[in-house]
Chain A
Amino acid sequence: MLAYLLRRILYAVPILIGVNLLTFTLFFVVNTPDDMARMQIGIKRVTPEAIEKWKLQRGYDKPLLVNSAASGAGKLTDTIFWQKSASMFAFDFGYSDDGRSIGREIVTRMGPSLAIALPTFFIGLVAYVSFALLMTLFRATALDIAGVALCVLLMSVSGLFYIIGGQFLVSKLWHLVPISGYAGGADSFKFMALPILIGVVGGIGSSSRWYRTIFLEEIGKDYVRTARAKGLSELAVLFRHVLKNAMIPILTGVVVVIPLLFMGSLLTESFFGIPGLGSYTIDAINAQDFSVVRAMVFLGSALYIAGLILTDISYTMVDPRVRLS
């Protein structure tokens, strides 16, 4: 098991290198630092001095890959690639355009992101699975058909609509909770309730329908017929047999997103003014702060790979037949 995990972690390294090279190409080769400087300062009347100054301030004045002016190891380390891209492997993300440390910003913003994303994830999971089980229990009846129709309708609605409509209904019309904002401590529930509710409702259509398909696939199998034949009630069959056996396909889709919860949700956080990583990313995109976007891309893929490894581990927990070796 330990050897397997080590191998998986080692396997993650080339993928992260690939991500790193990709972002390096995207941010420094497709457009040179000069292009970016011109764009940031403004197109008209840009003096070469201004560009040099902009590059110097951000450390973009070095050569891309090989610094022939430096000596020894400096030939490789005193370059943009080494200082801006390779350093990410040590989780050293450098500084954003307003001069703050990106690493520290990530650590402080993770809290609010998780405070919204974790409850949304768990409440959502329980709600979707219960709804899907309900539809499976009443399969091929009017209730099931109505449920599926509702799911298709809900998944055809834009995610933006849930947020805007929810804010309008709950905050503006009914004045139940503030429209946006965030506070720690006892007050936090007031601010978190609506984003969590909207997050759960927004996912109900596609997720419940997907779980229903998984359950229906399980329910046609032989062991289910055996269970029924020995006289188990439909509910016992559903919970004790179908749900347990459907765990593998459910986990495949679910566990992989758990680490990504750290990143928060771009839309929810920006609409509700939650100071998490999602709104950090969206602000960086709007301000065209490339170093922050680069850091988030790297962080996101590292978390995704962690999710893949977690998925494998979770298999061993729900299915004793799976052995990692």
Chain B
Amino acid sequence: MSFMPIILWSDALVFLLLASGIATAWYVRRREHLLLPWRRVAQNATAMVSLLVLSLFLLVGLLDTLHYRAALPETNGGETVYSPEVLSVFDKLVEPLRLQTEKTYSAPFALTLYAKESISDAQGNVLHDYPRLRYGGAHLADVAQRNGDVVKRALTGALGGLLAGLLIALGSRRWLVQHGLPLRPMLIATLLLAALIGATAHLAAAYHVLGTDKVGQDVLYLSLKSIRTGLIIGTVTTLVMLPLALFLGVAAGYFRGWVDDVIQYLYTVLSSIPSVLLIAAAVLMMQVTIDTHPHWFDNSAARADLRLVFLCLILGVTSWTGLCRLLRGETLKLRELEYIQAAQSFGVSSLRILTRHIMPNVMHIILIALVMDFSALVLAEAVLSYVGVGVDPSMISFGTMINAARLEMGREPMVWWALTAAFGFMLVLVLAANLFADAVRDAFDPRLNRTEAVA
């Protein structure tokens, strides 16, 4: 085989999450009463456009989760030798972006490096000038051609994207109408996104669209790679938080008495510690453990990955208290209702009451909390990485990008592109997540009055 698939810890958790997401969707699909609120979300134009943007991010994140190690050309006595470098399918797709590194900083669409260097020309004269980039705009013989070339490439790329978008739009039009989705906003969004992606892809083949960073890596590549880290922090954390909050919250509300006292004590203690400090303390300790056991990891990717998983674990352990409190309150209310008391008097076991009657009726709270938490977690990653208790410094993330670019603001002329790219990508991701979360909350919150009849 020319490659060996690698499943890192975080990959496995993402697959688990994906599988449970698909299973839930399958379950909901055939139950009309569960489907109803989702229909309301589907009719919301803002929500669906946000979902479109989010699914693009998700696609990049998922492609970046399929890891492998490529085979090296030489063999060790007939046995294939694999490269120690762990790559992802996404890396392979955008290989030119990853490999075409310059010497150091260069501005977006620049043809030359950011700093002057001594270069010797054909006659052997030494000049002090901005050297041309190795890859960015290398196909141009004359520097003056650049603007025209950029515009031409942007237009042809956008046109290509538009055509592809049009094909997708025509193909999915019927399906959209069938399911009552907002047709016009979604078509417009698809075309715009397709044109944008087309233009960027065509430009990125010849230029560094968002410039390069200190070691000459393409900033567009770094930004796209950061998406996976952000998504994992935002989603895998819920894997840890959800069971804790659900079981403890429901148990505290249903059993009351000493169970309630113990669980309340537990979450009061945890929530009384300011969360940044608790996370900092836990991450510092994790760092000591990782640093004193270097033999646990066979390569640096595995170490960075495990640190990411640990970070999700720590974030989950520190953030379940809020949801737990909500669930406890709701269960306290539910257990006094007639249908629960009827079940109790029929002699239904507590476990069965909890799983059949209570948990389905608190699901809307969980869903709302999860979608609301996602954007907060993506933002928290950047802050934690700045404080020094975030992801491994070698892992590409919005936080590490911002952290590295922070000092570049002081340079003359200013290196603004890396920072702008990180903040821009983060804004789009978080904004889309917030808008989608709002629509989900509006659709699921029973406190909001709705005029339509419940089917």
Q: How far is the CA of A19 from the CA of B272 in the complex (A)?
A: 8
Nearest CB in chain A: distance from B307 CB, A: 15
Task: Find out whether the CB atom of B277 lies under 8 angstroms from the CB atom of A30.
Answer: no
**A300: which of B274, B282, B379, B435 is its contact (CB, 8 Å)?**
B274
B430 within 8 A of A: yes
- Give the residues from 11 to 45 in chain A that come closer than 8 angstroms, CB to CB, to chain B: 14-15, 18-19, 22-23, 26-27, 30-31, 35-36, 38-39, 43
| Stretch from A126-134, A240-248, A285-293 that touches the partner | A285-293
Q: Which residue of B is nearest A35, CB measured?
A: B292
Q: How far is the CA of A124 from the CA of B46 in the complex (A)?
A: 30
Chain B, 368-397, contact with A by CB distance < 8 Å: what is the 0/1 string? 000000010001001100111100000000
Q: How far is the CA of A164 from the CA of B401 in the complex (A)?
A: 14
B281 within 8 A of A: yes
Nearest CB in chain B: distance from A312 CB, A: 14
Q: How far is the CA of A317 from the CA of B455 in the complex (A)?
A: 47
A159 within 8 A of B: yes
B431 within 8 A of A: yes
Q: How far is the CA of A246 from the CA of B273 in the complex (A)?
A: 28
**A31: which of B277, B289, B294, B375 is its contact (CB, 8 Å)?**
B289
Q: How far is the CA of A324 from the CA of B157 in the complex (A)?
A: 69
Nearest CB in chain A: distance from B275 CB, A: 10
| Stretch from B107-115, B160-168, B419-427 that touches the partner | B419-427
Which B residues are CB-close (under 8 A) to A167?
A: 409
A157 within 8 A of B: yes
Chain B, 419-455, contact with A by CB distance < 8 Å: what is the 0/1 string? 1000100110011001100100000000000000000
Which A residues are CB-close (under 8 A) to B284?
A: 285, 288, 290, 293
**B272: which of A157, A294, A304 is its contact (CB, 8 Å)?**
A304
Task: Find out whether the CB atom of B273 lies under 8 angstroms from the CB atom of A297.
Answer: yes
Q: Which residue of A is nearest B275, CB measured?
A: A300
B350 within 8 A of A: no
**B375: which of A156, A164, A297 is its contact (CB, 8 Å)?**
A156
CB within 8 Å for A35 and B272 given contacts A160-B382, A297-B278: no
Q: Which residue of B is nearest A307, CB measured?
A: B272
Which B residues are CB-close (under 8 A) to A288?
A: 284, 287
Task: Find out whether the CB atom of A266 lies under 8 angstroms from the CB atom of B387.
Answer: yes
Q: How far is the CA of A296 from the CA of B273 in the complex (A)?
A: 9
Task: Find out whether the CB atom of B427 lies under 8 angstroms from the CB atom of A156.
Answer: yes
CB within 8 Å for A266 and B289 given contacts A43-B294, A157-B427, A285-B284: no
Which A residues are CB-close (under 8 A) to B379?
A: 158-159
Q: Which residue of A is nearest B269, CB measured?
A: A18
B280 within 8 A of A: yes
Which B residues are CB-close (under 8 A) to A15?
A: 265, 268-269, 272
Q: How far is the CA of A168 from the CA of B408 in the complex (A)?
A: 12
Which B residues are CB-close (under 8 A) to A263?
A: 274
Task: Find out whether the CB atom of A19 lies under 8 angstroms from the CB atom of B382.
Answer: no
B402 within 8 A of A: yes
CB within 8 Å for A43 and B269 given contacts A23-B281, A159-B383, A168-B409: no
Task: Find out whether the CB atom of A35 lies under 8 angstroms from the CB atom of B382.
Answer: no
Which A residues are CB-close (under 8 A) to B271?
A: 304
Q: Which of A156, A263, A296 has the most CB of B within 10 A?
A: A156
Q: How large is the interface on A (under 10, 10 to 19, 20 to 34, 35 or more residues)?
A: 35 or more
B276 within 8 A of A: yes
How many residue pairs, one in A and one in B, have C-beta atoms under 8 Å apart?
121
Task: Find out whether the CB atom of B389 lies under 8 angstroms from the CB atom of A285.
Answer: yes
Nearest CB in chain A: distance from B304 CB, A: 18
CB within 8 Å for A300 and B285 given contacts A152-B431, A285-B387: no
Q: How large is the interface on B (under 10, 10 to 19, 20 to 34, 35 or more residues)?
A: 35 or more
A161 within 8 A of B: yes
Which B residues are CB-close (under 8 A) to A281?
A: 277, 280
Q: How far is the CA of A152 from the CA of B50 in the complex (A)?
A: 13
B152 within 8 A of A: no
Which B residues are CB-close (under 8 A) to A160?
A: 382-383, 386, 402, 423
Task: Find out whether the CB atom of B274 lies under 8 angstroms from the CB atom of A260.
Answer: yes
B351 within 8 A of A: no
B288 within 8 A of A: yes
Q: How far is the CA of A14 from the CA of B261 in the complex (A)?
A: 12
Task: Find out whether the CB atom of B434 lies under 8 angstroms from the CB atom of A43.
Answer: no
B33 within 8 A of A: no
A197 within 8 A of B: no
Task: Find out whether the CB atom of B288 lies under 8 angstroms from the CB atom of A31.
Answer: yes
Which B residues are CB-close (under 8 A) to A164?
A: 402, 406, 409, 419
Q: How far is the CA of A155 from the CA of B406 in the complex (A)?
A: 21
Which A residues are CB-close (under 8 A) to B276?
A: 266
B129 within 8 A of A: no
Task: Find out whether the CB atom of A158 lies under 8 angstroms from the CB atom of B292.
Answer: no
**B273: which of A152, A168, A301 is its contact (CB, 8 Å)?**
A301
Q: Which residue of B is nearest A40, CB measured?
A: B288
Task: Find out whether the CB atom of B434 lies under 8 angstroms from the CB atom of A38.
Answer: no
Task: Find out whether the CB atom of B281 lies under 8 angstroms from the CB atom of A297.
Answer: yes
Task: Find out whether the CB atom of A14 lies under 8 angstroms from the CB atom of B265.
Answer: yes
Which B residues are CB-close (under 8 A) to A290?
A: 284
Q: Which residue of A is nearest B433, CB measured?
A: A156
**B285: which of A19, A30, A157 is its contact (CB, 8 Å)?**
A30
Nearest CB in chain B: distance from A201 CB, A: 15
Nearest CB in chain B: distance from A167 CB, A: 8
Chain B, 92-121, contact with A by CB distance < 8 Å: what is the 0/1 string? 000000000000000000000000000000
Task: Find out whether the CB atom of B409 lies under 8 angstroms from the CB atom of A35.
Answer: no
Nearest CB in chain A: distance from B382 CB, A: 5
Task: Find out whether the CB atom of B288 lies under 8 angstroms from the CB atom of A36.
Answer: yes
Question: What are 20 A-B contacts with C-beta separation under 8 Å?
Answer: A15-B272, A39-B292, A43-B291, A152-B434, A152-B435, A152-B438, A156-B375, A157-B423, A157-B427, A158-B398, A160-B382, A161-B423, A161-B427, A164-B402, A267-B386, A267-B387, A285-B284, A285-B389, A300-B272, A300-B274
* Known pairs A297-B274, A301-B273 / 11 extra A-B pairs, C-beta < 8 Å: A30-B289, A31-B292, A38-B292, A158-B426, A159-B379, A260-B274, A281-B280, A282-B387, A285-B284, A304-B272, A304-B274
Residues of A within 8 A of B (CB): 14-15, 18-19, 22-23, 26-27, 30-31, 35-36, 38-39, 43, 152-153, 155-161, 164, 167-168, 172, 260, 263, 266-267, 281-282, 285-286, 288, 290, 293-294, 296-297, 300-301, 304-305
Which 4 pairs show the lowest CB-CB distances between chains A and B? A18-B269, A156-B431, A301-B272, A300-B274
